[in-house]
Chain A
């Protein structure tokens, strides 16, 4: 089989190919990745400059202009309290991204640590952790979120924790499997022979090799996390009105769809879709970036 692909001898590169060169290469190689990163840049732009971009104060009410359809002055129309939907949608980006990124970051770190430990040392640690994770996996997010909110109060942080806890098992299981198959790999044994302690072998040699599939998981998870945050706001947990947040805006707007004021719910809904779509597209590109084998 190896006969099939003999790479032509390539001239020795004059200097070491840096990570930046590699990222540029991945972006150039795949137009979809390029598009995904462009979309991601739009989201980041809106999140960072949100309040500065918004033409109106997202919280300012004006009963005189309530429920106006989209127009040149109000691109996305106005809601029942006369707030500008466009401004609110833009400003909400920061909050939604923060919630999802924070939740995913926490579950990534915690899940990686637990999964790596379970996969590397195995034994009772593995058995115990796996059962705990199975239990968490069986737990519905909304029930857990309600429990946490009931116990600790209805704050955004608690919603982040709830989303993070729910996602931990996915990371832990993935890392556990990836670490487990490499535990006895030649390079791991060689690293031990080179005088590395178990922790070093695990953290510097085995775990980084699990990153490519993890990146796909992260990108899909960011999408889910945004949907979850929106869903929780929709049922009245976490973010509370009048804060601008896509989930709440959809929830509030839903009441007006029947009476014909479709713009209240549709625009934040489309933003939500745009964000989730971006994250899903991002996955393959992120994987290629962290995989040195893509550097040829």
Chain B
């Protein structure tokens, strides 16, 4: 139905033309779901933008053919393309909130599409829009018609986006990272809904994702892209069990999955034995009945309701839950950026909850507890070079200046595996993995005994995630640190943590050793989280 041959796309930049896609060919058959998998910069999104002809300014299709049902997509007039977009081929974008017009009622937005393609008129527009909303299983669609995007949850927004994309019965649906940023249970619900609808309407689809597990679960055929080229194609099972290309094998290895150890995420040739470490029975951190209540516009918001857990010296504890469960609020309180409403945070015997967060920057305990932030880009000052960023805690807390500071910075760069030549670069000149290393170097600069890791790998590609997780495991053993690993992904948490705390609605629903929680979850919510994670086929039968 869709056929792409030797497609090449180039972008004009300050440094001349950059090839984003170089000669990609694939077909999508009637009723087939094709997965395009690749890491950032692989050209997977650009390929789909090119076939919809919605490339950014500066981008152009350099060569190749793209035909859809006999129509040459490359040469079709803009008017023809407008007819094809939405009616024949439609698209679901990454961020549902950004894809919806924030000041227009969601029902109206569905109606706009229907009327644009003459599927409805002024009289029956509302009814048709509600029908489209019901088709994506939105409960009480008539009432939701009048909602604005900000009033709906992320998952609900993505359903609206699906409703818009499917409103005109397109034959081909292009999904660009449709569930990135959604909770894992929501991801499952959305993906199942979409695949059901695709089957029921006998549509074709292209699923673009960085998540090999997700693609393997929902696609009939996979295409793996790297640097604008297809390195491997085939059916998911075969790709997983016998990856032919080295890059595919690396991706398969790096995907966190049940039964994998942290070292097995790395390519086989660089695997080293995991360093031994000592977990004592002595408590480093004891959190008791921690409560945080925010004053909301419509009454108090109970973000954290009485949370208690321990972190022993040398132990790593995972704090797991979906967005809004209070895990970030809890970690903010423990790292002393936020004052709790009540409760104790005993760290090495002292109750830190008694020391207000406002003045904690000057507290001698400040250097003992540090944090690695979620988004490496957001957590580095765009005006500071890596060197300046790492120097900051050294100057303020260790009092290091001049030559001693410079030596320590280079020592830290070596420790986290950041090439010294990158120390004088600004964050925008670094890759995601390099930025993560700078963030880690800054956090360990003053030898903290306790490190809070707030989804440190959430924004990274899987292969980089594997490297960063292993770096964290090495540093922990080397510097004798304890971790509190905050994440939504149980499979990632299990790799690094000995003990897991599962939170929901501001409360702890379950805690126990990582093995026990993962294999025999006591709480139904934990079981739901575990089952919602995409299950990639077992790689190479543990060969």
What is the interface of chain A, defined by CB distance below 8 A to chain B?
A: 1-8, 12-13, 16-17, 185-187, 189-198, 200, 205, 208-209, 292-293, 295-296
Contacts and interface: CB of A to CB of B under 8 A. Distances in A.
A3 B384 CA distance: 25
A160 B325 CA distance: 55
Contacts of B362: 195, 197
Given A193-B335, A295-B426, A4 B20 contact: yes
A6 B367 contact: no
Given A16-B424, A195-B393, A196-B361, A292 B383 contact: yes
A35 to B, nearest CB: 20
Contact of A192 (B43, B361, B422): B361
A125 to B, nearest CB: 15
Interface stretch (B11-19, B261-269, B466-474, B480-488): B11-19
A25 to B, nearest CB: 11
Contacts of B421: 12
Contacts of B361: 192-193, 195-198
A191 B370 CA distance: 11
A209 B383 contact: yes
B374 interface: yes
Given A3-B41, A6-B41, A296-B429, A190 B15 contact: no
B347 to A, nearest CB: 15
Given A16-B424, A189-B337, A197-B361, A3 B43 contact: yes
B397 A194 contact: yes
Contacts of A17: 424
A196 B40 contact: no
Interface in B3-61: 11, 13-15, 18, 20, 40-46, 49, 55-56, 59
A194 B13 contact: no
A292 B45 contact: no
Contacts of B366: 193, 195
Nearest to B43: A3
Given A4-B20, A4-B59, A292-B382, A193 B43 contact: no
A204 to B, nearest CB: 9
A195 B15 contact: no
A187 B380 contact: yes
Contacts of A205: 381, 384
A28 B65 CA distance: 40
Interface in B370-395: 370-371, 373-375, 378-385, 392-393
B442 A2 contact: no
- Chain B facing A: main interface SS: mixed
Contacts of A191: 381, 392
B428 interface: yes
Contacts of B381: 187, 191, 205, 209
B479 interface: no
B535 to A, nearest CB: 27
Given A193-B393, A197-B362, 15 more contacts: A1-B45, A2-B40, A3-B20, A3-B43, A12-B421, A16-B424, A185-B378, A193-B337, A193-B370, A194-B392, A194-B397, A195-B367, A196-B396, A205-B381, A209-B381
A8 B18 contact: yes
A190 B379 contact: yes
Given A12-B421, A16-B424, A197-B361, A3 B374 contact: no
Contact of B383 (A8, A185, A196, A208): A208
B358 interface: yes
B382 A194 contact: no
A9 to B, nearest CB: 9
A225 to B, nearest CB: 27
Interface size class of B (residues with CB under 8 A): 35 or more
B412 to A, nearest CB: 13
A3 B371 contact: no
A186 B335 CA distance: 14
Contacts of A1: 45, 94
A56 to B, nearest CB: 49
Contact of B442 (A4, A185, A194): A194
A13 B385 CA distance: 14
14 contacts: A13-B424, A186-B375, A187-B379, A189-B379, A190-B442, A194-B393, A195-B366, A195-B396, A195-B397, A198-B361, A292-B426, A293-B382, A295-B429, A296-B14
Contact of B371 (A6, A190, A195): A190
B56 A186 contact: no
B337 to A, nearest CB: 6
Contact of B44 (A3, A12, A190): A3
Interface string B192-212: 000000000000000000000
Nearest to B176: A1
Interface in B404-440: 421-422, 424, 426, 428-429, 439
B456 to A, nearest CB: 11
A187 B378 contact: yes
Contacts of A194: 392-393, 396-397, 442
Q: Top 8 closest A-B pairs, CB basis?
A: A186-B379, A195-B396, A194-B393, A186-B378, A195-B397, A187-B381, A12-B421, A194-B392
A295 B439 CA distance: 21
B374 A6 contact: no
Contacts of A186: 373-375, 378-380
Nearest to A187: B381
A132 B307 CA distance: 44
Contacts of A187: 378-382
A80 B14 CA distance: 56
A2 B428 contact: no
Nearest to B392: A194
B391 to A, nearest CB: 9
Contacts of B443: 193
A288 B385 CA distance: 17
For A292, A293, A295, which residue has the most chain B Cβ atoms within 10 angstroms? A292
Nearest to B363: A195
Contacts of A208: 383
B327 to A, nearest CB: 16
Contacts of B393: 193-195
Contacts of B371: 189-190, 193
Nearest to B374: A186
B406 to A, nearest CB: 13
Contacts of B428: 292-293, 296
A293 B377 CA distance: 12
A245 B529 CA distance: 75
For A3, A6, A7, A16, which residue has the most chain B Cβ atoms within 10 angstroms? A3
Nearest to A16: B424
A6 B18 contact: yes
Nearest to A14: B421
Nearest to B332: A189
A128 B374 CA distance: 35
For A7, A190, A296, which residue has the most chain B Cβ atoms within 10 angstroms? A190
Contacts of B46: 3-4
